[in-house]
Chain A
Amino acid sequence: MRKGAKTMAKLKSWRELPCGAIIDDPKAVLENKTGAWRGVRPVWHEDKCIHCLTCWIYCPDAAIIVKDGKMTGINYDYCKGCGICAAVCPPKTHAIDMEKERK
Chain B
Amino acid sequence: MILAKTGNEALAYAMKQINPDVVAAYPITPSTEIVQIFAGYVNDGLVDSEFVAVESEHSAMAACIGSAACGCRTMTATASQGLALMHEMLFIAGGLRLPIVMCVASRSLSSPLNIHGDHSDSIASRDSGWMQFFCETVQEGYDTLIQCIKTAERASLPAICAVDGFILSHCLERIETFEDKAVRDFIGKWKPNWNLLNIKQPILVGPATMQDYYFEFKRAQIEGMNKALSVILDVQAEFKRTFGRGYDVIDEYRCEDAEAVALLMGSACGTMREAVDVLRGEGKKVGMVKLRVFRPLPHSILKESLKRFKTVAVMDRADAVNSYGGPLYTEATSLLYDLPQRPRALSYVYGLGGKEFTPLDAAMVLEQALKGSKDELVTYVGVR
Co-complex (A, B): yes
Question: In the complex, are the beta carbons of A21 and B95 less than 8 A apart?
Answer: yes
Interface 9-residue window, one of A6-14, A73-81, A82-90? A6-14
Question: In the complex, are the beta carbons of A11 and B213 less than 8 A apart?
Answer: yes
Contact partners of B96 in chain A: CB under 8 A: 20-22
B212-245 with Cβ < 8 A to chain A: 212-213, 215-217, 219-221, 223-224
Select which of A8, A12, A13, A24 is within 8 A of B203 by beta carbon.
A24
- Please encode chain B, from 187 to 231, with 1 for each CB lying within 8 Å of some chain A CB and 0 for all others: 000000110000001111111010011011101110110000000
Bound CA–CA A19/B223 (angstroms): 10
Question: In the complex, are the beta carbons of B95 and A17 less than 8 A apart?
Answer: no
B68-100 with Cβ < 8 A to chain A: 95-98
Bound CA–CA A54/B193 (angstroms): 36
Question: In the complex, are the beta carbons of B194 and A22 less than 8 A apart?
Answer: yes
- Please encode chain B, from 144 to 175, with 1 for each CB lying within 8 Å of some chain A CB and 0 for all others: 00000000000010000000000000000000
Question: In the complex, are the beta carbons of B207 and A22 less than 8 A apart?
Answer: yes
* Tally of B interface residues using CB under 8 Å: 25
Bound CA–CA A4/B213 (angstroms): 12
Interface residue? A69 (CB, 8 A): no
| Chain B proximity of A25: nearest CB distance (Å) | 9
Question: In the complex, are the beta carbons of A17 and B203 less than 8 A apart?
Answer: no
Select which of A8, A19, A26 is within 8 A of B202 by beta carbon.
A26
Interface residue? A28 (CB, 8 A): yes
Contact partners of A11 in chain B: CB under 8 A: 212-213, 216
Bound CA–CA A13/B207 (angstroms): 17
* Also in contact, A14 and B220, with CB within 8 A (given A19-B156, A20-B95, A20-B96): yes
Interface residue? A91 (CB, 8 A): no
Interface residue? A23 (CB, 8 A): yes
A54-84 with Cβ < 8 A to chain B: none
Question: In the complex, are the beta carbons of A24 and B194 less than 8 A apart?
Answer: yes
Some 6 contacts from A to B, beta carbons below 8 A apart, are A12-B216, A14-B219, A21-B96, A22-B204, A22-B207, A24-B201
B→A interface (CB under 8 Å):
95-98, 156, 193-194, 201-207, 209, 212-213, 215-217, 219-221, 223-224
A→B interface (CB under 8 Å):
4, 8, 11-15, 17-24, 26, 28-29
